[in-house]
Amino acid sequence: MSGSLKRALVLLANGAEEMEAVISIDVMRRAEIEVTVAGVDASDKIMCSRGVCIIPDVDLQTAIDAAPYDAVVMPGGLKGATTLAESDGVKKLLEMQIQHTNLIGAICAAPIALKSHNIKPGSNITSHPSLKDKLEGYIYSEARVVKDNKLITSRGPGTSFEFALELVEMLKGKEVRDKISGPMVLP
């Protein structure tokens, strides 16, 4: 499993939480997962929630044209997550992930996009604590990272490494997860 090429798409919109985005991107790339960053509402640069600018690799339509991916990952940040939740293109990508039984990851505020696009209702999920009441129809957990089949959710910036490592383990296996954790001096 660890030798096969895996592709992940990280969806970014203005207002995204940069720690959740960059940590997910970085950790997956350390695991030799081919990561593409797609700008949902801009293709030249994304202004994140704390003022960090990220230049996406592709625009949303180009990302859709290259789908499906082994994983589609959605960082939080309320403004960015709201854009993901309102995007027909994001809905199309998430539906393709389900059709191909591929992985979907959502952290912090991004689970509102799952709810908005009716993705896997009834699944076990978590989110930033402030959004718990907006996720009716799901089985809510206070755990830091929740995995339900091919859906991984997490709480926020402080759980970004755990979330990213779970993505790596699901895509490449525990051996790869363990191999990249040590040099990052993670527990």
- C-alpha to C-alpha distance for 111 and 125, rounded to whole angstroms: 8
Find out whether 67 and 93 touch, Cβ atoms under 8 Å: yes
Name the token pair of 155. Answer: 């709480």
Q: What residues are annotated to the active site?
A: 108, 128
Contacts of 25 (CB under 8 A, 6+ apart): 10, 35, 37
* Of 147, 144, 88, residue with least CA distance to 118: 88
